[in-house]
Chain A
Amino acid sequence: MSQFMLILYDTPEMGQKFQSFSPEEMQAAIGKYFAWAEQLKSQGIHKGGNKLKDEPGKVMLSGGKKPEVVDGPYLETKELVGGYFLIEADSYDAAIKICADCPQLEFGGKMEVREVDMF
């Protein structure tokens, strides 16, 4: 069993979609995320997750004498990492299958899957 990190990106499209949601639709959307996570938990492959704060955060670069600290992320400011989940799966294929069921994509968000390198 390998571990994978599912990184959830919030896109502008997703933001717009949420803005137009009614309270009822928002509750339904939360319910979908819960149902998805519930499914993973019942299989014992949900290994945690966290929301990251909606701040740009800091990017540190090696400067001259001391590291340079700037507000980041500065590459793709339009897409923000909303949070991440840690799951267990046999392979990338299996991990991707799990991601496909996550409502993040249905709402126009993006996901990145990275295998944890365990030695």
Chain B
Amino acid sequence: MNSANPHSGQDTAATQSVPRLVEHLFRHESGRLVANLARTIGLSRLDLAEEAVQDAMIQALRRWPFHGVPQNPAAWLAQVARNRAIDVLRRKANFEQKKEEFAHPLRPEIAQPAEVCEDALADDQLAMIFACCHPQIPRDAQVALTLKTVGGFSVDEIARAFFAAPTAIAQRLVRAKRRIKENGIALVLPDADERSARLDTVLRVLYLVFNEGYTAHAGDRLIRRDLCAEAIRLVSLLSTRKETNEPKTQALLALLLLQASRFPGREDESGELLLLDDQDRQRWDQELIRRGMFHLAESATGDELSEYHLQAGLASLHVSAASVAEVDWRTVLWHYDRLMEISPSPVVALNRVVAISMIDGPAAGLTALEEMPHQEALRDYYLLASTKGDLLRRLGRAKEAASEFQRAIDAGCSEPEIRFLQRRLAECQQAS
């Protein structure tokens, strides 16, 4: 047992003036500490870094109930994790030379208040995000690795969020770590010339993390909410560092904040999903909207129009309208047209159809929908059927609408969505 005890004094009565633990402190510190340790001992020893941090947190769990929270909980965890890593490495034969170089810089850092090394910690974390989103790592593993290593989520939590088996997530992580070793991926920021392209992957991964939490899938709701918060936290971090603060970073941050602003109001009291039409706009988070708008304005520099610019622009049109009827649908359509050029997808195409129907009526929407390319490929896609059903419903063709809603249900989607579609189906069956 390493004897260094970072606890400030043997003060058993410390519990009387304990600082309260900041919400999510462990989760956030876990990511920072793993990055910081891996920076010191090498990314190829990521497993050891993770174990050491896990161990430090277990020590906290076993000791703090008696002692109370130490004055600087983050520094306490850092010290114990480092001691743990040193202990393990010390047992390895080739450690002796390395010991000196890495045992020394530790002390002054720990002795300082946390703010002093705040920058260094952020740098390490930034490098870790880039490492987790390295192009040599498969996409689904990038997402899992970022959540695990940077975000401090456990395998079980990731599995719950993605509605996947824990073993499947664990395998992804093993694959990702193998890639790190095989490719000798290091914990460094990419060089300036490739940074912007690498940043694209990072932003895409964080966007996926947010979306996974945002879309109304099955899976644990609380954890999914945390995914969104984590994505926002990490994109915020990117936006505060000069190396990664590009207009597209600002645009993504704007997009996530504006989307998150609609969390309250997206569901009714019983957790049922509400359409934009039926949402109480008063309940949208005005502070998030204000921040989102601020970053959207910040993103309007340079000449790059990223997908995030367009999506954030769309979100801003929705949150700034007093009602669905007052949304500037022509500008919405303009955004979808641009999106179709940059990153065409079935979802974008369908949203474009909705915009057309809001401008020129449901009949025009139906025509646009039938003219959509790749109809065949989308036949079993529930959103196609539900959009079509909605247009038919608005045209008063209840019977046809009902069969589309049925088709959407059969195509498979999340529980809240199925319930929503069933309500629509029942309405149309009554009307026909």
Task: Determine if chain A interacts with chain B.
Answer: yes
Interface of A with B (CB < 8 Å)?
10, 18-27, 29-31, 33-34, 37, 41, 48-51, 53-55, 82-83, 85
Q: How far is the CA of A34 from the CA of B65 in the complex (A)?
A: 6
Contact between B62 and A50 (Cβ–Cβ < 8 Å)? no
Residue pair B54, A19 in contact (C-beta under 8 Å): yes
B146 sits at the interface (CB 8 A): no
Question: Mind listing 5 A-B residue pairs with CB under 8 Å?
Answer: A22-B27, A22-B153, A30-B21, A53-B1, A83-B66
Partner among A22, A33, A41 whose Cβ is within 8 Å of the Cβ of B64: A33
Tell me how far the C-beta of B357 lies from the nearest C-beta in chain A, rounded to whole angstroms: 43
B27: A residues at CB distance < 8 A: 22-24, 27
**A-contact 0/1 string along B14-47, CB 8 Å cutoff:** 0110100100111101100000000000000000
A26 touching B24, Cβ below 8 Å: no
| Residue of A with least CB distance to B57 | A26
Do A50 and B12 touch (CB < 8 A)? yes
**Contacting pair B57 A23 (CB below 8 A):** yes
Given A19-B54, A19-B58, A34-B65, decide whether A27 and B156 contact each other with a Cβ distance below 8 A.
Answer: no
Smallest beta-carbon distance A70→chain B, Å: 19
Chain A residue with minimal CB distance to B5? A53
- In the bound complex, residues from chain B placing their C-beta under 8 Å from that of A23 are 26-27, 29-30, 57, 152, 154
Residues of chain B from 150 to 182 with CB closer than 8 A to chain A in the complex: 152-154, 156-157
Q: What is the CA–CA distance of A83 and B12 in the complex, to the nearest angstrom?
A: 12
Q: A84 — nearest CB in chain B belongs to which residue?
A: B66
Contact present for A31 and B21 (CB under 8 Å): yes
The interface residues of chain B lying within 8 Å CB-to-CB of A51 are: 62-63, 65-67
Residues of B whose CB lies within 8 Å of any CB of A are: 1, 12-13, 15-16, 18, 21, 24-27, 29-30, 54, 57-58, 60-68, 152-154, 156-157, 226
Within 8 Å by CB of B58, from A18, A49, A85, lies A18
Chain B residues closer than 8 Å to A27, beta-carbon distance = 21, 24-27
> Closest CB of chain A to B73's CB: distance in Å?
10
Contact indicator A30/B60 (Cβ below 8 Å): yes
Chain A residues, Cβ within 8 Å of B68: 34
Note all chain B residues with C-beta closer than 8 A to A10. Answer: 62
* A contact residues around B61 at 8 Å (CB): 18, 21, 26, 29-30
Cα–Cα distance between A27 and B57 once the two chains are bound (Å): 8
- Structural contact, A24 and B26, CB atoms closer than 8 A: yes
Residues of A within 8 A of B30 (CB): 23
Which chain B residues border A49 with CB–CB below 8 Å? 12, 66
Kindly state the separation between the CA atoms of A82 and B18 in the bound complex, as whole angstroms: 21
A23 → B minimal CB distance (Å): 4
A22 and B154 contact, CB distance less than 8 A: yes
* CB closest chain-A residue, reference B66: A51
Do the beta carbons of A55 and B1 come within 8 Å of each other?
yes
Inter-chain contact B156/A20, CB cutoff 8 Å: yes
The 9 closest A-B pairs by CB, nearest first: A22-B154, A33-B65, A23-B26, A51-B66, A27-B26, A23-B30, A23-B27, A23-B152, A83-B66
A82 surroundings in chain B (CB, below 8 A) = 62
Contacts of A55 in B (CB 8 A): 1
For the complex, give the distance between the alpha carbons of A42 and B126 in Å. 44
A63 to chain B, nearest CB (A): 28
Residue on A with the closest CB to B223?
A24
Contacts of A29 in B (CB 8 A): 61
* A37 touching B12, Cβ below 8 Å: no
Chain A positions within 8 Å of B1 at CB level: 53-55
Q: Give A6 Cβ to nearest chain B Cβ, in Å.
A: 11
A26: B residues at CB distance < 8 A: 26, 57-58, 60-61
A37 to B64, CA, bound (A): 11
Tell whether, in the assembled complex, residue B58 and residue A22 are in contact, meaning their CB atoms are under 8 Å apart.
no
> In the complex, A48 Cα to B68 Cα: how many Å?
12
* B21–A22 CB distance below 8 A: no
A33 CA to B62 CA, complexed, in Å = 10
State how many angstroms separate the Cβ of B383 from the closest Cβ of chain A: 33
**With A21-B58, A22-B152, A51-B62 given, can you name 5 additional A-B contacts, CB distance below 8 Å?**
A23-B26, A27-B24, A27-B26, A49-B66, A55-B1
Bound-complex Cα distance A66 to B336 (A): 89
Q: Give CA–CA (A20, B61) in the complex, Å.
A: 13
- CB contacts (< 8 Å) of A41 on chain B: these are 15-16
Residue of A nearest to B154 (CB): A22
Closest approach, in angstroms, between the C-beta of B52 and any C-beta of chain A?
Answer: 13
Instruction: Give chain B nearest CB distance to A46 CB in angstroms.
Output: 8
With A and B bound together, what is the CA distance between A59 and B66 in angstroms?
A: 24
B157–A22 CB distance below 8 A: yes
| Residue in chain B with minimal CB distance to A53 | B1
| Cβ-closest chain B residue relative to A82 | B62
Q: How far is the CA of A22 from the CA of B60 in the complex (A)?
A: 13
